[in-house]
Amino acid sequence: MPLSEHEQRMLEQMERALYAEDPKFASALEGSGLRTYTRRRVYQAVAGFLVGIALLMAGMVAKQVWLSVVGFLVMLGCAVLAVTGWRKAPKPGEQPAGAPQARRQARPKRSMMDRIEQRWQRRRDEQGQ
């Protein structure tokens, strides 16, 4: 069940107050959640990437093309996991992942056509002046 806007604001205020009052404790609590999980996921992806390299090389030495292809696919998949995990990892002192989503939802979404029309209008206005 998602939190209402008021509840999300209250939670953000409580988090900021906790961080201002005792930053060491707040960072210790923060580090035990998503950041640790994503860091572990990135490490696992790096280890998988190394296994993929080993499979690729073993396939080349054994002249087994399918083993090399499997190794390449493992490398590719692990690289994607590492990059997405690295991007999702919150920085120390940063708001949790749920907070920016609430701000995005509060902002009215414009369609692609609206944005294109606004750009077109801006260009026409700039050329007319």
* pLDDT value, residue 129: 65
Higher pLDDT, 3 or 46: 46
The pLDDT assigned to 102 comes to 45
CA end-to-end distance (rounded Å), the chain: 52
Q: Is the pLDDT of residue 107 over 50?
A: yes
What's residue 103's pLDDT? 47
Position 109 scores a pLDDT of 64
Which pLDDT tens digit goes with each residue over 43-96? Answer: 899 999 999 999 999 999 999 999 999 999 999 999 998 888 766 655 555 555
Tokens 């907070």 -> residue: 99
What number of other Cβ atoms are within 10 A of residue 56's Cβ? Answer: 19
Cα distance between residue 7 and residue 98, in whole Å: 12
The whole-model pTM stands at: 0.46
Work out the mean pLDDT of the chain and round it to a whole number: 77
Q: How far apart (Å, rounded) are the C-alpha atoms in residues 12 and 83?
A: 28
pLDDT-derived band at 99 (thresholds 50, 70, 90) equals very low
